[in-house]
Amino acid sequence: MPDNLTGYLVFHAWRRPAVLLVALTALGTGVSACAGSGSTPTATSASQSTTTSSGVTVSGAFGSTPTVNIPNSPAPKDLTSQTLTQGSGATVAAGDTLVANYVGETWADKKVFDSSFSRGNPAPFVIGKGQVIPGWDKELVGKKVGSRVLLTVPPADGYGSKGNSQAGIKGTDTLVFVVDLVAAYGPNAGGPGTPAPALPAGWPKVSNTPGTKPDITSVAGVKTPTKPESKLVVTGTGDPIDPSKTLMVQLVQTDLATGKKTQATWGQQPQEVSAQNVLQVASALSGQKIGSRAVVLVPGSKASGSSPAQPASVLVIDVVGQF
């Protein structure tokens, strides 16, 4: 987890991949943070009040803020998990980027120390690879998307003997989480789509098989634009892109002057980006569907403050999901 309170307190050892820096700077946004395609939210049945095997009572349906009542009895000594609502989506695998809504409370004090529900946005993170607390890595891998899961996490599987003073978590605290598994995306997650007409003269040459990593094979004859320009090269066949949501995207970036590939998310992890920010740069994606792919010509930028100068580039953006 980060050293400061960003709201994602479950993050244990998050490191932002260097691959993101230039491409997402070009998109004008930051990011937070699997083999196989993305798994999107799956409808589940409503959940009534459930008293679990650990003695914790949870009320509320998947997708709604849960009400958690923790008993006054001693906390379980071992890590426990219980599926409160069984999802019917894909099985979460180690290395997936899991999108989850959650609330976390301390057993002893019965205080909420973190809640994505209160922020109004699920949190994406890589699961099963040491980027979240051990209890999440151990218990959420293998669960189905669309599930609501209760976890009781002793210190050894949480923040250890030092706890987390910024969050008010002591080294002796057992933590209680209710987690909704909203979606999961593999490192090479793609989206459904069909090829659009070939790019006209003056645009880069791009290998273009829908749902798989594209390559920018030539930038010969491409002129540097004065503002972002984009063309659709794959027409998605998923749900319509919602400008009010957050998109999961795959990116490939190439230096426009040299044709050298500078960054790619494929094989690492798709990234969380505001749909509005993507559409501002890649207007060709406006009114399109999940699975769409756009080629974007991005002008260079001068150094400003702590931000270094950026050369003109070509981006290929695949929209693989949204939440």
Section 39-60 average pLDDT: 72
| CA atoms lying within 13 Å on the CB side of residue 215 | 4
Contact 24, 313 (CB under 8 A): no
Section 19-25 average pLDDT: 40
Q: Give the confidence band of 152 by pLDDT, cuts at 50, 70, 90.
A: very high
Amino acid sitting at position 223: K
> What pLDDT is stored for residue 49 in this prediction?
78
> What pLDDT is stored for residue 17 in this prediction?
39
Chain-centroid distance, C-alpha 259: 29
Residue 5 above 70 pLDDT?
Answer: no
> What pLDDT is stored for residue 15 in this prediction?
36
Higher pLDDT, 9 or 67: 67
User: In angstroms, how far is the first alpha carbon of the chain from the final one?
Assistant: 22
Section 86-104 average pLDDT: 97
Report the range of poorest mean pLDDT among 22-31, 66-75, 273-282: 22-31
Section 114-138 average pLDDT: 95
Section 132-152 average pLDDT: 97
Residue 86 above 90 pLDDT?
Answer: yes
Residue 80 above 80 pLDDT?
Answer: yes
Section 193-206 average pLDDT: 96
Query: pLDDT tens digits for 52-72?
Result: 889 999 999 999 999 999 999
> What pLDDT is stored for residue 33 in this prediction?
30
The pTM assigned to this predicted structure is 0.84
> What pLDDT is stored for residue 308 in this prediction?
82
> What pLDDT is stored for residue 39 in this prediction?
52
Section 290-315 average pLDDT: 90
Residue 40 above 60 pLDDT?
Answer: no
Can you list the positions of beta strands (E) in the chain? 50-51, 57-59, 67-69, 80-85, 97-106, 112-115, 123-126, 148-153, 175-185, 193-195, 205-207, 215-218, 229-236, 246-255, 261-264, 271-274, 293-298, 313-322
Q: Give the confidence band of 302 by pLDDT, cuts at 50, 70, 90.
A: confident
Section 179-201 average pLDDT: 96
Residue 41 above 80 pLDDT?
Answer: no
Question: How far, in Å, CA of 200 to CA of 77, rounded?
Answer: 64
Whole-number average pLDDT of the chain:
87
> What pLDDT is stored for residue 25 in this prediction?
41
The DSSP bridge pattern shows strands 293-298 and 50-51 to be unpaired
Sorted by sequence, the CB contacts under 8 Å of residue 102 that are 6+ apart come out as 10, 114, 115, 116, 117, 123, 177, 178, 179, 180
Complete domains list, the chain, with CATH: 39-185 (3.10.50.40), 193-322 (3.10.50.40)
Report the range of poorest mean pLDDT among 13-17, 102-106, 315-319: 13-17
| CA atoms lying within 13 Å on the CB side of residue 295 | 27
Percent share of the chain, pLDDT over 70: 85
